Chains A and B, each alone.
Chain A
Amino acid sequence: SAVISQKPSRDICQRGTSLTIQCQVDSQVTMMFWYRQQPGQSLTLIATANQGSEATYESGFVIDKFPISRPNLTFSTLTVSNMSPEDSSIYLCSVDLRGDTDTQYFGPGTRLTVL
């Protein structure tokens, strides 16, 4: 397995502002993923971030709202832009460590509250 960290662990933000969430892995990985878990809901994939290419967004998620960076094989950021209370969620990054097992390992999550 690997150690996956996220910063911040939690934040409370004002409506209309933006927050950038960082995800750091202690080993090089090809595929990193960003998920959202709304209160009482399960996980929904926002986008896939591969190093050296543009992120691939799922239906219902757009780059202007959730810009993603993937500057190297151990790091990625997700920005939640122009936030509204509906963006209050837990944001999780995950990684596919080996690529051949399809198993994803998750970070601890960032709990975001928008007032």
Chain B
Amino acid sequence: EDQVTQSPEALRLQEGESSSLNCSYTVSGLRGLFWYRQDPGKGPEFLFTLYSAGEEKEKERLKATLTKKESFLHITAPKPEDSATYLCAVLPVYNQGGKLIFGQGTELSVKP
């Protein structure tokens, strides 16, 4: 069964304290892995798409990396405005219909 597990469930950081969020996945074949940010009461905001092991993408303080079994979202010198829930999702290679399988998310809190 295709599955996505994110850890930790919640993460509290001080401003400037770098850390990483983990997304482990089990899928018969990976078509793509996606990271989203979700603020309370809002829809998920797209961050990154990764397609193959070894791929990396960066945006401001965020960098996403991908291996054959997991993805990391690295946050460098976070600021309070980075506080949000970060969602990871996979699209299996056999799925032509676009069904994303989401993890439970990591709730990040950055304190000043």
Report A's interface with B, CB cutoff 8 A: 1, 4, 31, 33, 41-45, 48, 56, 58, 92, 94, 96, 101-109, 111
Indicate if B105 sits at the interface (CB-CB under 8 A).
yes
CA–CA, A65 and B100, complex, Å: 22
Indicate if B99 sits at the interface (CB-CB under 8 A).
yes
Indicate if B22 sits at the interface (CB-CB under 8 A).
no
- Whether A42 lies near B87 (C-beta < 8 A) is yes
CA–CA, A61 and B33, complex, Å: 25
Chain B residue, CB-CB nearest to A41: B104
Report B's interface with A, CB cutoff 8 A: 31-32, 34, 36, 41-46, 49, 87, 89, 91, 97-100, 102-105
Chain A residue, CB-CB nearest to B99: A45
* Nearest 3 CB-CB pairings of A with B: A106-B43, A42-B102, A43-B102
CA–CA, A109 and B34, complex, Å: 19
Q: Which residues of B contact A108 (CB under 8 A)?
A: 42-43
Which single member of A1, A102, A107, A111 contacts B49 (CB below 8 Å)? Answer: A102
- Whether B97 lies near A56 (C-beta < 8 A) is yes
Main secondary structure of the interface of A (DSSP, over half): strand
- Whether B102 lies near A101 (C-beta < 8 A) is no
- Whether B44 lies near A102 (C-beta < 8 A) is no
19 further contact pairs, Cβ within 8 A, besides A42-B105, A48-B99, A104-B34: A31-B98, A41-B104, A42-B87, A42-B102, A43-B87, A44-B102, A45-B100, A56-B97, A94-B43, A102-B32, A102-B98, A103-B34, A104-B46, A106-B43, A106-B45, A107-B43, A109-B41, A109-B42, A109-B43
Using A56-B97, A111-B41 as known contacts, say yes or no to A103 and B49 having CB atoms under 8 A apart: yes
